[in-house]
Structure 1
Amino acid sequence: MKVYFDARQLGHAPQVYFRRGAAMPHQEQPQRAEILRDMLLSEGFEISAPGDHGVGPIKAVHNPGYVDFLPDAYDRFVESAGAEALAIPTMHPGVRRGKEPRDIHGQLGWWMTDTSTLLTPGSWDAAYWSAQSAVAAAEAVLSGERAAYALCRPPGHHAMRDCSNGFCFFNNACIAAHHMTSKYRKVALIDVDVHTGNGSLDILYERGDIFFCSLHPDPATYPTFFLGHADETGEGAGAGTKLNLLLEQGASQDDVLATLDKGIAAARAFGAEALVVSLGFDMAADDPLAAVAVYPDGFATMARKLADMGLPTVLVQEGGYLGPSLADNGRAFLTTFRKAIQ
């Protein structure tokens, strides 16, 4: 199974963010990718750097204005506010009526939703090459590989069409899924990160060619809030092609796996010809952002269930933070998936 990762993805290095009004150490650290990379190498996976497919695949799912805003946004912020300030939005448009301002502080609020996705000197390169890793994995599958894994960092499934959100700049899974539609009429995107794939839901809501299913606790009471309710099933051409499967906070491994079975059955009923998986190891019981209790053997079972769908598959890394079992969970899922498709 081919693996794609670029060292420039380590350049985004946020130090703090605000949660419940308090500043705290940022959870989305470069070490996450280093731990998974080193595990992959120890298990004999060959890691390739992605080629550069440009901004075209990114702009295919994101507002081009948002994409064009990011490359020099940090430098412009520092020029205005100084290097000691946090490059986060402090004013927002509310409902998205109005026009994009020219001032950098207003632009941060226009294109960015929260304090968790702050800009640092290496953010643009990291987000750009994370997206390129997803495109490279999709290209590999389009070229005949049974499956490929993109070690995407920063993650992507919270990024909406025209704004960052929840540690995410570009929605790597949606970029991969859209890329797959160049060959496959129907693509399924199944999100097994513990948080709702709210950005993916936003991007895909009116698309009928990409089925989307997310497993997550009720967004009425659990981040990222707002999107991911059971009655949000798509609109227009996408009506009936979106499925939010809600988990109880503290759900057991058996509960999670039984819920995944429902998502897989729905993807099959949709007639999916290819699969993209938003792969989050923050389903782990000991993850710093834990809300359910999945263990390494559960991730292995999850991998077998998804591999048994028998579809060309792109695996896209999402969450999974610096808990004790991160490497073990990654090893359990990825080695099991590799064995299952051989």
Structure 2
Amino acid sequence: MKMKNTMQAAVLHAPADLRFERVPIPQINENDVLVRVKAAGICGSDLGRIMHTGTYHFPTIPGHEFCGTIDQLGSSVEGLSIGDRVLVVPILPCFKCTHCQSGHYGQCENYNYLGSRTDGGFAEYVKAPVQNIIPLPEGISFEEGAAVEPAAVTLHGMRRIKINPGDSVCILGCGPIGLFAVQFAKIMGATQIIAVDLDPERLSLSKKLGATDTINAETASVISSVKQLSSDEGVDVTIENAGSNITQVQAISCTKKHGRILYLGTAHKDVVIPPEVFEHIVRNEITITGAWNSYSAPFPGKEWDATLEYLEQKRLDVHSLISHQLPLSDAPEIFKTLDAHQLNAIKIVFQI
């Protein structure tokens, strides 16, 4: 039987120019795997890249949160079979630079990346090196599999900040990363989990997922409310996910003496810290940690293994975060809708 040589994909030709069209199916090399994509999630970074900043070259197929089944194997690939259910890890490290040699693949000097630097998961097929393929257990759906990457990103940061049993945690921003943070904080033994957001529905969901307290930043003073909930001390750990200049500064004032702050959100403009807030860092010996991506040694990292384990154990709820499941053909319009703030979505997954 003759194999088809084209596929459907959402292709970015320029910022705000995403087209659903037919393109050639990728040709694999001896150490590659061709994956038939079954589900792909939209990340907040996808929205910015597709509608504003663009990818690193054009045309590019975006999408880095995805999973599927193996369609083809390179001639040197062993231990995998056609039809296997798999996750695809999006970063393509060089494995040669100092950071890679130290196991810090997210800081690779020469990395490539599926969905921004090379073609990604908003397509019927994706090629990836065999080392980027992880088996997807049978008990985990493709929709859940598409959310493993952002969950692993969250867990990577939270392991860096070291949440201890009995800690109090404040989570600023209840998008997917924040809602995963609520769940991981509970898994790690935090006894007080304060979720902060502007959206009542997201706050309600955070409560369902394990938050002990919620603060609506639209109607309440975040810092005063956190202090009131923490005996006027602040919390042990504050996790900033929103990427808002307001929350990036609030995180400092919400944190107690000798506390820790984890920044997961991306700054989109200058972050201005008033002198008295900066003094809070210095005088109270606050530890500030940044985290990017989800990788550690051995590649791709323990974060991926643990996320899959929590999903299998039903300790991590992904389904409650998926607000929309759509066909990939909707991609051009859905990004325009999201950019215009005309859809209140938590996690959108394309079924492909």
Higher helix proportion (structure 1 or 2): 1
| TM norm. shorter chain > 0.5 | no
The normalised TM-score by structure 1 is: 0.39
The normalised TM-score by structure 2 is: 0.38
Structure showing greater radius of gyration is 2
